[in-house]
Amino acid sequence: MYKCLNCGKEVEVDLKTSKKVICPFCGYRIIKKIRPVVLKKVHAR
Ligand SMILES: [Zn+2]
């Protein structure tokens, strides 16, 4: 997941298919990569 630094909306970008990362909402070119929330697996004994 990526987040636009201009409008702050989450943008899904496939870097494999498209090299240019542009926000589809505002056309901003600077998009920050954000990490999804990772759930930790806890093994309870
Ligand atoms: Zn944007």
pLDDT for the residue numbered 8? 95
Centre of ligand 1 to C-alpha 7, Å, is: 4
Centre of ligand 1 to C-alpha 38, Å, is: 25
pLDDT for the residue numbered 36? 73
Centre of ligand 1 to C-alpha 43, Å, is: 40
- Give the largest CA-CA distance in the chain: 51
Separation between Cα atoms, residue 24 and residue 45, nearest integer Å: 47
CATH, domain range 1-45: 2.20.28
Separation between Cα atoms, residue 40 and residue 36, nearest integer Å: 12
Q: Tell me the pLDDT tens digit for each residue of 1-42.
A: 889 999 999 988 776 766 778 898 999 999 998 887 777 888
Domain spans of the chain?
1-45
| Alpha-carbon distance values, 5 to 34, 35, 38 (Å) | 11, 15, 22
| Alpha-carbon distance values, 19 to 22, 29, 43 (Å) | 9, 12, 40
pLDDT for the residue numbered 18? 65
Centre of ligand 1 to C-alpha 23, Å, is: 5
